[in-house]
Amino acid sequence: MKKYQFLVVGLGVFGTNVAKILSQKGAEVLVIDNDEKKIQEISPFVTQAIVADATDEKTLRSIGAGDIDIAIVAIGENMEASILTTLLLRELGVKQILVKNINPLHAKIAAKVGADRIVYPEVEVAHKVAESFLSPNIFEVIKLSQEYNVSEVGVLKKFWGKNLKELDIRAKYGVNVIAIKRKAPFVTDSGESDFKEEVNIAPGPEEELNEGDRIIVIGKENDIEKLK
């Protein structure tokens, strides 16, 4: 498989974490920031870390930005710098540019000057936090589209002791169960108790649901809500 080359511009919390995660997963990661201290700190974790001004075209050319496959513009507050960097990277021929949103106007302009994708980390986290209070029985949500989600849901009491065939969740709720997460308690020889989490992917119709189980379901958001 081709090894993608990434460029991360801006070492705030988001940029730093994206760079580190990409590196941990074996990608080639070049990072730039104008803060020398931040560059020194991330240097051991990435392929190359350079103190540079990303709004300077010559600098971007000199570091070979044109050969980059995917650039992540993670400049935190300076809207002008973010937009200019996006524009320059597009002109230099970066294949894909992802830009961290600063505000709605910035997002619009960034898209106009060449961003392929705008990401809204704070908004996404805000949604998750709000949902966790409103639907405490829904533990994780991945949005597939405007309408469809994959969600991890605690099993309703009325489901306990029944198998998937009896429950017929697809017909009754309009969602598909794609996995069951279950805690398997144990006690060690020395008497210490604990549990390990087991995941049963594509469970069969005879699989019984019990207290404490969580089901991973795919379906319309409104239908999944009925399971909470």
Interacting residues toward another protein by CB under 8 A: 137, 139, 154, 183, 185-187, 191-195, 210-212, 214
In angstroms, the Cα distances linking 190 to 183, 195, 196 are 20, 15, 17
Taking phi over 0 as left and psi of -120 to 50 as alpha, with beta for the rest, 162 belongs to: beta
Q: Please, what is the minimum distance in Å from the beta carbon of residue 8 to another protein?
A: 24
Complex with another protein: residue 108 or 183, whichever CB lies closer:
183
Complex with another protein: residue 139 or 148, whichever CB lies closer:
139
Complex with another protein: residue 81 or 138, whichever CB lies closer:
138
Complex with another protein: residue 90 or 162, whichever CB lies closer:
162
Separation between Cα atoms, residue 75 and residue 54, nearest integer Å: 10
Q: Please, what is the minimum distance in Å from the beta carbon of residue 136 to another protein?
A: 8
Which DSSP string do the residues of 108-170 spell out, in sequence order?
HHHHHHT-SEEE-HHHHHHHHHHHHHH-TTEEEEEE-SSSEEEEEEEPPGGGTTEEHHHH-HH
Q: Please, what is the minimum distance in Å from the beta carbon of residue 157 to another protein?
A: 11
Q: Please, what is the minimum distance in Å from the beta carbon of residue 214 to another protein?
A: 7
